[in-house]
Structure 1
């Protein structure tokens, strides 16, 4: 009898009209996976800025992990992720072989010790620099296998937000002022094609990106190749906001962004680093209202739907308050515009009032019950209504995401009254 009464009560509740439920919220901090990024070894600034920074950046080299064939020591990666997570942050990571001015080998010793492998020290950006021997099959095979193993270990690790990949100087898809020879000092186009497709196949969850410099078809196979263009890579721009950036569609940076499609950030993350073309650039990057060269950071970030930007030196020039303000103004930002319940079901409408989508699943939830659909991919200016199988009689609403570390929360704006 009690069971029948419960069923009848539920049916009565289900038949009730939806009424407005009060909900209030305020985005008052930088959101996870967005903002101004500082290097993981910049402990002083990271400590000073606290949760004003949500991402820590680091280079790693392949020989940090592998020295013997098929022996992988991931402790350097694990420690990096563990330390960032302990500080309530996630990691933006990039592996590289070449860094101008660095002659220390980055290729695993077992490859370098092969009789037909040749270490190369060449002049790049005016300095002696170590370059891999891209003619060697074992180096090519190892690099593919490395990312297979990396993905097996970290593909779903919430401590890792994004990975940047590439070749050449800084893995930024160029060998500026260096001896760029395809198949020797830089991978052949055929190998690059294989590599990019491979990375896309193994990173089934983890979001990855390449430099906008890969738009140059002299040494990259991507431009005009639909099978490569359709891969799931995002973009990063490491000279963001320099003096001529985006003055017209033919300017190098803008033309490079446009090569990959004006709407790529709708599905793949866009980021970069503040320009180091001059000390003046760095000093004035976050100046209001005109930035270093007549365009504010917020204006250029809006043009490219930027989610994050590396700005490791900004605390030398700007206040923590200004850094936080700029960081909050990029990436996603959610606003609840309607919150209604009939006692058993809740309908919530959410608008993205930020610049870009969130690139991992995030679920509106009521009293711990999640929506079956996600906020992932909700574009700037778009709204979506979610139906949640739980009644809302108070403000027990949250946005839940499994891709966060302890201390991180996804906030929302709301100022809704009840009926």
Structure 2
């Protein structure tokens, strides 16, 4: 309070606001190279996706060229969007070597090709200590460069086909065609200490006792990582708690969304699924909105949806994901401000964001504010007119053109 100023009573401040667009870090995701879809949907997309090979970045021992990653991030940011990125070591049907030549040609690495999903595929040799050391160093370097970069929303990581933690219809030999469980543990613990801001996620297929160390080392599940489900909403998805996808989600617990994002991709089991997944009652009698609420979904890759659904329907589905803030109370005494924010969405926001009055941030970050929960904030911002008070939600993890909206109906 200003010295000598007489205390004034707090009085309610009118505030009207409506969320009318998809919020940052949420929604239906298109691939970064889907030029026509991105042009058609505009701001109804807030996230773009891209795959990379490790060899896209590392051109020699200790030589990192991030230009391909930077170009993707820059192109998305120019559209007012953020990115989800994933690096893969194995991609069925791809024979291009996915790891740097100095690793592939190391004395302890044998270049090999295997039949995966019926197609010849480069599969790295995980016996190689050179390869294993490279993978750890790669993510250290990635974090050094991008951990605080607002152009990057989420990182997806994993091994095997599509980095989705399986070698379906391929030759699984732990420690050779797929990393050993011991190295996986080292890798996961490394990510847990390397990334301080960026949310990283694993495929729900990592619940597998065959592939991953999580069953043998339950403490690994305490790491803060999100999950993605790349066969979302197939015909029997979540038909029971023992159904594969449902059981895989449950394996990691039902509170993971409280600190890390849940996402995935609409399944490609059939053209029918892709064509109808965003129908009002989905392809199999349940809407996307109901699945989004059940799994606390923040984002879902739906690259083909512009060909099947209207822009309005894609926007509607996208707005059913992630966080959704409402300011439920606002008052001022002419110098200090009090307000309350409720999250009416299906998931928290996973980066820092603050309510602000006339540009002054108030109280604690809204990061992690759970669905249905409220948080009060207050602060003295200096003399101001109640009737012209500007209320916003600010975050440093946005690109130009993005902003976080809120609902309010305060008379």
Q: Which residue of 1 aligns with 2:310?
A: 319
Gaps of 5+ in 2: none
Q: Which residue of 2 aligns with 1:8?
A: 4
User: Contact 2:108–2:129 at 8 Å: present in 1 too?
Assistant: no
User: Contact 1:365–1:388 at 8 Å: present in 2 too?
Assistant: no
The match for 1:351 among 318, 328, 342 is 342
Work out whether 1:125 is the aligned partner of 2:121: no
Work out whether 1:398 is the aligned partner of 2:389: no
- 2:389 and 2:268 map into 1 onto residues whose CA distance is 46
- 1:286 and 1:182 map into 2 onto residues whose CA distance is 38
User: Contact 2:363–2:376 at 8 Å: present in 1 too?
Assistant: no
Q: Which residue of 2 aligns with 1:331?
A: 322
- 2:354 and 2:294 map into 1 onto residues whose CA distance is 27
User: What is the Cα deviation at residue 6 of structure 1?
Assistant: 5.7
- 2:385 and 2:321 map into 1 onto residues whose CA distance is 31
User: Contact 1:365–1:371 at 8 Å: present in 2 too?
Assistant: yes
Q: Which runs of 4+ in 1 moved over 3 A?
A: none
SS at match of 1:221: coil
Q: Deviations over 1:85-133 (max 9, x none)?
A: 0110000000001111111110100112223321111011111111010
Q: Which residue of 2 aligns with 1:229?
A: 221
User: Contact 2:50–2:85 at 8 Å: present in 1 too?
Assistant: yes
CA pair 6-401 structure 1, distance change in 2 beyond 3 A: closer
Q: Which residue of 2 aligns with 1:26?
A: 18
Q: Which residue of 1 aligns with 2:126?
A: 134
Between the two proteins, the alignment pairs up a number of residues equal to 408
User: Contact 2:326–2:341 at 8 Å: present in 1 too?
Assistant: yes
- 2:389 and 2:232 map into 1 onto residues whose CA distance is 41
The match for 1:171 among 146, 163, 167 is 163
- 1:388 and 1:120 map into 2 onto residues whose CA distance is 62
The match for 1:252 among 212, 232, 244 is 244
CA pair 6-414 structure 1, distance change in 2 beyond 3 A: closer
- 1:217 and 1:388 map into 2 onto residues whose CA distance is 51
Gaps of 5+ in 1: none
| Match runs of 1:63-102 below 5 Å | 63-102=55-94
Q: Which residue of 2 aligns with 1:366?
A: 357
Work out whether 1:388 is the aligned partner of 2:382: no
User: Contact 1:331–1:354 at 8 Å: present in 2 too?
Assistant: yes
TM-score normalised by structure 2 residue count: 0.98
CA pair 213-17 structure 1, distance change in 2 beyond 3 A: same
Q: Which residue of 2 aligns with 1:108?
A: 100
Q: Which residue of 2 aligns with 1:414?
A: 408
User: What is the Cα deviation at residue 226 of structure 1?
Assistant: 3.3
SS at match of 2:327: strand
- 1:207 and 1:114 map into 2 onto residues whose CA distance is 32
Q: Deviations over 1:234-292 (max 9, x none)?
A: 0000000000000110000000000000111011110000010000000000000x100
- 2:248 and 2:317 map into 1 onto residues whose CA distance is 24
Q: Deviations over 1:128-178 (max 9, x none)?
A: 111010000000000000000000000000000000000000000011011
- 2:389 and 2:47 map into 1 onto residues whose CA distance is 29
- 1:191 and 1:225 map into 2 onto residues whose CA distance is 13
SS at match of 1:143: helix
User: What is the Cα deviation at residue 24 of structure 1?
Assistant: 1.1
- 1:244 and 1:312 map into 2 onto residues whose CA distance is 22
